[in-house]
Amino acid sequence: MNHSKVTLVGAGPGDPELLTLKALKAIQQATVLFVDDLVSADIVAFASSKARIVYVGKRGGCKSTPQAFIEKLMLMAAKEGETVVRLKGGDPFIFGRGGEEVEHLKAAGIQVEVINGITAGLAAVTSLGVPLTHRQHAHGVVFVTGHAKPGDTGTDWRALAATAHSARLTLVIYMGVSGAERIQDELLSGLPAATPVAVIQNASLPAQRHIRTTLGRLATDIHLSGLASPSVIVVGDVISGLAQAAEHPEARRTA
């Protein structure tokens, strides 16, 4: 019987205190870790001093380790009897290619366990003291990527804007900074220019920065602020709560 196994671990948005206990145990027990580019050094430091750390960075717009090569490395290590952890920023199943890796590993006869992590879109707005859903402002939330793979037409922003407006949804856009101008133009087909927006860079980390703006000024204010990847763009009326949070910071500290 094949006992080879790989554990996909969500490292969360970066703050090591946001790791789950299950994720921490898996990191500490691993003999080899394949680590994404956005995983903080403080989290990698939880690994055993005897563990082998393999950095397999994947970041939009930068030179990346090919996905097929990462999968091959994991497969080899698992078959060699290593305790393998694939350490991913955020959550493996939210824009982390976790689904692809599970399919590939299972097809090769490898057991796979997935340990969830806090996704950046949630951590980002929480750090600002506002929610993603609210009974008065947002009846749901959509996580969507602003980055399409080559040959893919990507997200239908016009259709999404119309749905978000009619259904009162918050939009959380990952990897959208480089395409902010196009995203803004197409969302304006169905959402008012005054729709509140927040852009949060390096969510949960000491270097976190954010801006509060409107959909009509999104691309302009991203450019003026100098915000870059990794950032999430949050669009919706829940962001109007940022003004109240700024006026009452004690509520944010005790929430």
Q: Which residues are catalytic?
A: 36, 58, 175
Closest among 33, 10, 94, 38 to 207, alpha carbons compared: 38
User: Looking at 12-80, which runs of residues are DSSP E strands?
Assistant: 32-35, 52-55
Tokens standing for residue 69: 């090569």
Say if residue 104 is exposed, middle or buried (CB neighbours under 10 Å; 0-12, 13-18, 19+).
Answer: buried
DSSP 8-state class, residue 18 = G
Cα 32 to Cα 5, 26, 83, 86, 253: the distances in Å are 12, 11, 6, 9, 38
Task: Identify the bridge partners of residue 35 per DSSP, sorted by sequence position.
Answer: 55, 87
Closest among 117, 252, 241 to 170, alpha carbons compared: 241
**Which H or E run includes 221?**
helix 218-225
Say whether 156 sits in a helix, a strand or coil: coil
Tokens standing for residue 85: 């952890």
> 168, 176 in Cβ contact below 8 A?
no
Give the separation between CA 73 and CA 82, rounded to whole angstroms.
11
Give the separation between CA 249 and CA 24, rounded to whole angstroms.
31
Tokens standing for residue 30: 């691993």
